[in-house]
Amino acid sequence: MRDSHKHRQNVGFIGLGTMGTPMAMRIIAAGYPLTVYNRTPSRAQVLVDRGAVLARSPLELAQASDVVIVMVSDDVALDAVVSAETGILPAIRDGKALINMSTVSPGIVERLNSAVTARGGIFLDAPVSGSRIPAEQGTLVILCGGEQRHVDAYSALLLTMGKKILYAGNAGMGTRLKLTANLLLGGMMGILSEAYRFGTANGISPELLFEMIGAGPLSSPLYTLKAQNVLHRDFTPAFPLKHQYKDLNLILGAAEKLHIGLPLTQAAEALFGSAVDAGKGELDMSAVVIAGADRPAGS
Ligand code: NAP
């Protein structure tokens, strides 16, 4: 669909969490007619107040939409909104599109692609890089898999939420690129946790540690951003720790299928897992820095 047609394209959006709400806001602000669904309906009110229609089920939403976007937590949630009796799938027919933007396993994405295309529908996987603030500002980076012509057809819609689309290849490749990004993210936060533990045990203040990182070649926007969380002990979630833990598990599952070992990612997964066990799953993922520092000596 070209730009000139966008106002006639009925969009459905499922999953109004930390990311989904601001992303759906961007779509409605760009002038698309929007129907929304969320498992907990009260979270949809802010969008209904802006003119969105609230559907009673994913099926009802899909029946009212030309293109359905899903942004839910994980494989279980995606399966629930797609494959249940009142899920999206029965409404998929010729030319109707399903775009999954949740971070899930390559396996479920590839299964969904087969199910949707078998019904004559269009499937894209389009997970995102960037968290709540880029979602509010429409500056996410969208990692897209599917047929190139379909990515082109939905690029105007996708670019209401993002500043850039990276085309990764066939359906499933957007998800594989996203998991590669989150391997690096989990690893960078894991090793920061260890540098924090080592540095502070050596008498280096957290302030000096982050000043050193920012002053030289180790500097990165990620560390600059997350330094503020650590220094102010403010772990209001942008990217919840439990989702990064989920992604490290998805990565290790995909690596196992490819018969490749990822020992550093395994160590990061264990670190994030112990932070989840310590009750820090709902905090921002940067809380892992402190969780690592809190571990008893010798562990
Ligand atoms: P979130 O705030 O936890 O929201 C999760 C959404 O999924 C909610 O709408 C929730 O509905 C829904 N959901 C969960 N389980 C469900 C089920 N069984 N059936 C139906 N709906 C279900 O998550 P988020 O931070 O927005 O993240 C969404 C996705 O984007 C995740 O895959 C995450 O890894 C990925 N992501 C997140 C970020 C980030 O910075 N937050 C960045 C990039 C990618 P309820 O409201 O009813 O609970």
Q: How confident is the model at residue 114 (pLDDT cuts 50, 70, 90)?
A: very high
Q: Whose CA is nearest to atom 17 of ligand 1?
A: 77
Backbone angles phi, psi at 116, to 5 degrees: -70, -45
Atom nearest to 103 CA in ligand 1 = 32
> Would you list the DSSP string of 18-77?
TTHHHHHHHHHHTT--EEEE-SSGGGGHHHHTTTPEEPSSHHHHHHT-SEEEE--SSHHH
Q: Would the pLDDT of 2 be above 80? A: no
Q: Would the pLDDT of 296 be above 80? A: no
Most confident of 3-17, 160-174, 285-299: 160-174
Residues 152 and 230 sit within 8 Å (Cβ to Cβ): no
User: Of the residues 131, 243, 282, which should be mutated to test ligand 1's pocket, given the most ligand atoms within 8 Å of the CB?
Assistant: 243
CA distance 167 to 64: 28
CA distance 111 to 118: 11
Mean pLDDT value across residues 127-147: 97
* Pocket (CB within 6 angstroms of ligand 1): 15-20, 38-40, 43, 71-74, 76-77, 80-81, 102-103, 128, 131-132, 238-239, 243
pLDDT at 7: 52
* Residue boundaries of the structural domains of the chain: 3-169, 177-293
DSSP state of 127: -
pLDDT at 144: 98
User: Parallel, antiparallel, or unpaired: how do β-strands 67-70 and 53-54 relate?
Assistant: unpaired
Please name the residue ranges forming H helices in the chain.
20-29, 45-48, 58-63, 75-83, 106-118, 132-137, 148-153, 155-158, 173-201, 206-215, 221-231, 241-257, 263-277, 287-294
Backbone angles phi, psi at 166, to 5 degrees: -105, 120
With H, G, I as helix, E, B as strand and everything else as coil, classify residue 166.
Answer: strand
Q: How confident is the model at residue 1 (pLDDT cuts 50, 70, 90)?
A: very low
Q: How confident is the model at residue 5 (pLDDT cuts 50, 70, 90)?
A: very low
Taken in order 289, 295, 297, 299, is the CA torsion positive or negative? negative
Q: Would the pLDDT of 39 be above 70? A: yes
User: Parallel, antiparallel, or unpaired: how do β-strands 67-70 and 11-14 relate?
Assistant: parallel
pLDDT at 297: 54
pLDDT at 294: 60
Mean pLDDT value across residues 123-136: 96
From ligand 1's centre to the CA of 267, what distance in Å? 25
| CA dist list (Å): 20 to 73, 94, 133, 217, 228 | 10, 26, 12, 35, 25
Catalytic option among 96, 178, 226, 242: 178
Taken in order 151, 157, 161, 162, is the CA torsion positive or negative? positive
Atom nearest to 39 CA in ligand 1 = 47
Looking at the chain, the whole-number percentage of residues with pLDDT higher than 70 is: 95
With H, G, I as helix, E, B as strand and everything else as coil, classify residue 146.
Answer: coil
Task: State the helix-helix crossing angle for 106-118 and 173-201, rounded to 10 degrees.
Answer: 160
Atom nearest to 129 CA in ligand 1 = 43
pLDDT at 6: 47
From 142, 130, 87, 129, select the one nearest 112 (Cα to Cα). 87
Bridge partners, 271 (sequence order): none
From ligand 1's centre to the CA of 12, what distance in Å? 16
Q: Whose CA is nearest to atom 30 of ligand 1?
A: 102
**Region 177-293: CATH code:** 1.10.1040.10
Neighbours of 255 (CB within 10 A): 16
Active site residue 178: yes
Mean pLDDT value across residues 41-48: 98
Q: Would the pLDDT of 165 be above 60? A: yes
pLDDT at 290: 84
pLDDT at 291: 82
Atom nearest to 80 CA in ligand 1 = 19
* 174-227 pLDDT per residue, tens: 999 999 999 999 999 999 999 999 999 999 999 999 999 999 999 999 999 999
From ligand 1's centre to the CA of 142, what distance in Å? 17
From ligand 1's centre to the CA of 238, what distance in Å? 12
From ligand 1's centre to the CA of 243, what distance in Å? 9
Q: Does domain 3-169 have CATH number 3.40.50.720?
A: yes
